[in-house]
Amino acid sequence: MSNEILIIDDNSDIRNIINDLITDAGYKTRLAANYSQALNEIDKKLPDVAIIDVKLDKGDNDGLELLSHIKNKDKNIPVIIITGHANIEMAISALKAGAFEFIEKPFNQERLMNFVNRAIENINLKNKNKEFEDKLFYSYELIGNSPSIENIKNQINKISLSESRVFINGPTGSGKELIARKIHKQSKRNKGPFIILNGALLDIEKYELELFGEEKNNGAISYGALEKSSGGTLMIDEISEIPLETQSKILRVLIDQKFKRINGDHDIKVDVRIICCSSKDIKKEIELGNFREDLYHRLNVFEVNIEPLKKRSSDIPLLVEYFSKKIALNYNLKKFEIDTNNSYLINYDWPGNIRELRNLIERIAILSPDSNEKISSIIKESLKTPDNFSVTSENPLSVPLKEARENFEKEYLTTQLKKFNGNISKTADFIGMERSALHRKLKGLGIKELN
């Protein structure tokens, strides 16, 4: 077994007993006898599982501080807390801070090993899922034949040949990360790491720590995203959320091609390609004083703009077919087909863009409906919003024949126009009408022609 467990306890007898138990079970171990040693071991390399005594040499609850330190680095790592001074309040505090299990001294050895085995299963499953998701993400293609998607495909081919920085603009869920990964995958840096730093998810006080890393007083080093991505690509997502003070330091890194870790004395050379993404209008953020214009021009050597899904409805049928096959194959689920002309799919605004569409297809795949009617019902219920009630949600039997026919024609023609991105000639050809007759029909029904 390759899993490694970090044992932290100031009592050498207990430390050795736990070590013997775990090594006998076939796991690797590392040991720490006090707070300082534990911090050094954690910062040197994160374990798969940690077993921590609550009270060490620094204070009454320094084990809980180490628990928080580990969780700040990787929230998925299971931590088993042990103590000889247990009370309900302490147990609740530990579990609230993210402890996997809480066990009292003297502990039952079999019970402790049950906790350890479950913790190992837990982290292995999460790692396997992450690996699978990464492979899944890399296996996804940029699907669509709309002019904007064809343009982006051409841009990726050209951008990938260079080492220049890239700025990707697009709404949430539109595929910015997929485009960044495609650029990295097709570049000369494809053997190097692809690291993501999400500006929207970081604590405001931790931007520089996450970017530059830190040198501790005890000699331990915490590596930042710039070093982790050395030789590869660093994607800074939602860069507009990074504070102005940190923005100025990023600008200095881009100019000097070097930086210092926090509390560090020597320069570290930068060997990384930076791709930035934003779902906000970055030019408006510059006008508002929230983003440095000089940094934007440094980052924006190549610009990629992604349209929201609602503006390229012709891509929806292709995306539905693609995700249906891909999800069924990747998750080993039963094959299923979705009517790509479903008016709910074409007319919906898709505020969550491609991510929302993919999630819908995944939901249908997992529920495994056995008829088109059930699939249509899932789509209808999933996409129903207070301001998304189309005429299809009304009972056509409750209105006169003329009105029902007009309602149908209006929805039918609106759907077809969206499907062909407002192209009158293609729409007329598909529905079997003369172009001039379609113009008159649209005007008569009060349908605005799409630009």
**CATH assignment at residue 196:** 3.40.50.300
Q: Is residue 434 part of a domain?
A: yes
Q: Tell me the residue range of the domain where 271 lies.
A: 140-307
Same domain, 315 and 303: no
What's the CA angle centered on 151, arms 147 and 155, to 5 degrees? Answer: 170
Same domain, 230 and 373: no
Residue that the structure tokens 């022609």 belong to: 449
pLDDT at 130: 63
pLDDT at 389: 40
Same domain, 266 and 163: yes
Q: Is residue 450 part of a domain?
A: no
Q: Is residue 400 part of a domain?
A: yes
In angstroms, the CA 63 to CA 59 distance is: 9
pLDDT at 247: 93
Q: Is residue 133 part of a domain?
A: no
Q: Is residue 231 part of a domain?
A: yes
Q: What is the count of structural domains for the chain? A: 4
Same domain, 252 and 164: yes
Same domain, 265 and 185: yes
The CATH number of whichever domain residue 354 belongs to comes to: 1.10.8.60
Same domain, 26 and 156: no
Same domain, 333 and 435: no
Same domain, 209 and 288: yes
Q: Is residue 248 part of a domain?
A: yes
Indicate the residue among 104, 128, 152 that finishes a domain. Answer: 128
pLDDT at 253: 94
Q: Is residue 134 part of a domain?
A: no
Q: Is residue 413 part of a domain?
A: yes
294 touches 300 (CB < 8 A): no
Indicate the residue among 69, 93, 128 that finishes a domain. Answer: 128
In angstroms, the CA 66 to CA 71 distance is: 9
The CATH number of whichever domain residue 422 belongs to comes to: 1.10.10.60
Q: What is the chain's pLDDT, residue by residue, as a tens digit (451 residues)?
A: 478 999 999 899 999 999 999 999 999 999 999 999 998 899 888 899 999 998 888 766 678 889 988 887 788 899 999 987 766 777 777 887 888 988 888 888 999 999 999 999 888 877 776 665 555 555 578 899 999 999 999 999 999 999 999 999 999 999 999 999 999 999 999 888 899 998 877 777 788 888 998 887 766 677 889 998 989 999 999 999 898 999 999 999 999 999 999 988 889 998 999 999 999 999 999 999 999 999 999 999 999 999 999 999 889 999 999 998 888 887 777 778 888 877 888 888 898 899 899 889 988 888 877 788 888 888 888 886 544 444 344 445 455 666 667 777 787 788 778 777 788 888 888 777 788 878 888 887 888 776 5
Question: What residues contact 100, with CB distance under 8 A and at least 6 apart?
Answer: 49, 78, 79, 80, 115, 118, 119, 122
CA distances (Å), 282 to each of 150, 288, 305, 324, in order? 24, 10, 12, 34
The CATH number of whichever domain residue 35 belongs to comes to: 3.40.50.2300
Same domain, 295 and 173: yes
Indicate the residue among 252, 285, 307 that finishes a domain. Answer: 307
Same domain, 184 and 302: yes
Same domain, 33 and 82: yes
Same domain, 172 and 296: yes
Structure tokens at 57: 């040499």
pLDDT at 282: 94
Could you tell me the pTM of the whole model?
A: 0.60
